A = this chain, B = another copy of it.
Amino acid sequence: MRYLAVAIAALLATSSAQAAPATRIPDKALATAAQLREQALADNTGWKVVESLTTEVGPRLAGSEADARAVAWAKAKFEQLGFDKVWTEPVTFPKWERRGEKAEVIGPHAQPLKVTALGGSPGGTVEGEVVRFADLAALKAAPEGSLKGKIAFVDYQMVKARDGKDYGNGGAIRSRAPSEAIRKGAVGFVMRSAGTDSHRVPHTGITRFDDGLAPVPAAALSVPDANQLARLVERGPTRIRLSLDCGWDGTATSYNVIGEITGREKPKEVVVIGGHLDSWDLGTGAIDDGAGVGITMAAGHLIGQLKQAPKRTIRVVAFANEEQGLYGGKAYAEAHGRTADDLKLHQIGAESDFGAGRIYAFNTGSPAPEGSREATRQIAEALAPLGIEYAPDKGGPGPDIGPIAAKGGAWAWLAQDGTDYFDLHHTADDTLDKIDPKALAQNVAAYAVFAYLAAEADGGFGSEAKPTVPPSE
């Protein structure tokens, strides 16, 4: 029965392949990839790159002086690592700055609280009674005007998961709850950090305010501080004072920094891998996303060291300002994915931006995936010795690959174990010591194998221009 089922599946695969010529990876490339995989596992280039970026540049908020240093660092690093072509592409965005932040309980239980402003928050000092909500739905259900003169506190505790799925809830509170609170009359907003740790390190991250609303100071409490505030609110009316010195200040221009290993046969067709170069300002941006930069720079470097260049070009992108709205990814899609002709040159893309945990699953996707399923399976087979399983019909593009994928670009998903990611994400604790060099090397091996094989494939992964989505009514 089992063999019969396999035979039928094979027949179906063949018939599908006859309808659209199936992409396949040549055996010789698979043999080279196996060597590349072992070599990458024994190599520490990825670690050295993250160590260099997080130590020499440190925190690098988009648009800051340190961000400019990071751009210079990335160019120099690509060159040191022997990339064939290195260049920058400008990315312009509104500039937000954090200068200071403070919060305290006032009254009979006076004490300081550890907070951090959400990115995009205005500055200002507000004081008021705290009204606690268990989650976003509870805040939404509050009567109009019920928060007049008060400070809303959304107290949702994120749950750990390998795929970080509860960030859906935590992230939604961060981006949408401040506007909800303003609509109910609140003069300020605090939330339990979208995090899974138990340290006094609040988690920042971008928020936004709906059009027509006057923004109010919005901040995240560390998890222990949220516990504390919840206990105080349970005892009786509790007032806090929130003082943020931060805000928008004109525009800034940073750069996507790009390095290429030129393809030997189809140099204009590119496999894109990358991470984002900017970080929040609280930590040194090790897991978010020095790791992604290190993993993909090292993967490109190792492919560049092969005796023979791959068939297509490997393009490594250190994206600008991912944190505040995917500005680098959007600029990249605009520059390299605008037309159907652009998309024909986009073989496939993948971003590493979920920490430095081991990769456990792989898949690809595109508007026309039928012809590339066998090649995807072949790549998954080459990744299997790294403990990575093929996960058909799962995953999606990384954040900065999202904009080009939305236009029709094929993407690959190399799923990292994010169990501990939200212990550190967007906090002061995002530092180099949180990266396991062996896990990082596994990531480098996976990216090197994937990028090399995708570049060597006979055929594509289904990139094609998507019809423009008509505006919804």
> Which residues of A approach B to under 8 Å, CB–CB?
51, 54-59, 65-66, 69, 105, 108-112, 114, 198-201, 223-224, 227-228, 231-232, 235, 283-284, 427-429, 431-434
Q: Which residues of B contact A227 (CB under 8 A)?
A: 431-433
Cβ B199 vs Cβ A109 within 8 A? no
State A283–B232 Cα separation when bound (angstroms). Answer: 16
Given A65-B110, A284-B111: A431 in contact with B56 (beta carbons within 8 A): no
In the bound complex, what is the Cα–Cα distance between A56 and B109 (angstroms)? Answer: 5
C-alpha spacing A449/B127, complex, angstroms: 48
**Minimum C-beta distance from A352 to chain B (A):** 22
Q: Which residues of B contact A105 (CB under 8 A)?
A: 58
Q: Are B111 and A200 in contact (CB under 8 A)?
A: no
Query: Pick the contact of A228 from B108, B199, B431, B434 — CB < 8 Å?
Result: B431
**A55 and B109 contact, CB distance less than 8 A:** yes
Is the Cβ of B431 less than 8 Å from the Cβ of A200?
Answer: yes
Contact A224 B58 (CB under 8 A): no
Contacting residues, chain B, for A434 (C-beta < 8 A): 198
A434 to B199 alpha-carbon distance, docked (Å): 10
Establish whether residues B428 and A110, one from each chain, have CB atoms under 8 Å apart when the complex forms: no
Pick the residue among B59, B111, B223, B429 that contacts A111 (CB under 8 A): B59
Query: Are A51 and B231 CB-contacts (below 8 A) given A200-B429, A224-B433, A434-B198?
Result: yes
B residues within 8 A CB of A110?
A: 58, 65-66
Task: Please give, as numbers and ranges, the residues of chain B lying within 8 Å of A51 by CB-CB distance.
Answer: 231
Q: How many copies does the complex hold?
A: 2
Cα of A432 to Cα of B428 in the assembled complex, Å? 21
List of B residues within 8 angstroms of A108 by Cβ:
56, 69
The closest CB in chain B to the CB of A283 belongs to B200
Contact partners of A431 in chain B: CB under 8 A: 200, 224, 227-228
Question: Shortest Cβ distance from A443 into chain B, in angstroms?
Answer: 21
The CA of A227 and the CA of B432, in the complex, are separated in Å by 9
Considering the complex, give the chain B residue whose CB is closest to the CB of A109. B56
Given the known interface contacts A198-B433, A283-B200, A429-B200, the answer about A57 and B109 at a Cβ–Cβ threshold of 8 Å is yes
B429 touches A199 (CB 8 A): yes
Which 7 pairs show the lowest CB-CB distances between chains A and B?
A: A58-B111, A200-B428, A224-B431, A55-B231, A199-B199, A56-B109, A198-B433
Give the residues in chain B near A111, CB-CB below 8 Å: 57-59, 66, 284
The residue on B at minimum CB distance from A114 is: B428
Q: Taking A200-B201, A201-B199 as contacts, is the C-beta distance between A232 and B109 under 8 angstroms?
A: no
Q: How far is the CB of A140 from chain B (nearest CB, A)?
A: 29
Complex contact B114–A55 (CB within 8 A): no
- Nearest opposing residue in chain B for A112, CB measure: B59
Cα distance A55–B199 in the bound complex, in angstroms? 16
Q: In angstroms, how far is the closest chain B Cβ from the Cβ of A420? A: 12
Residues of chain B within 8 A (CB-CB) of A228 are 54-55, 58, 284, 431-432
Let me know if A55 and B284 touch, CB within 8 A: no
| Min C-beta distance of A278 to chain B, whole Å | 15
What is the CB-to-nearest-CB distance from A16 to chain B, in angstroms, rounded to a whole number?
A: 51
Min CB–CB distance A312 → chain B (angstroms): 37
Given contacts A55-B109, A200-B429, A224-B431, 14 further A-B contacts (CB under 8 A): A55-B235, A56-B108, A57-B109, A57-B111, A65-B110, A66-B110, A111-B284, A114-B428, A198-B434, A199-B199, A199-B429, A200-B201, A224-B433, A227-B431
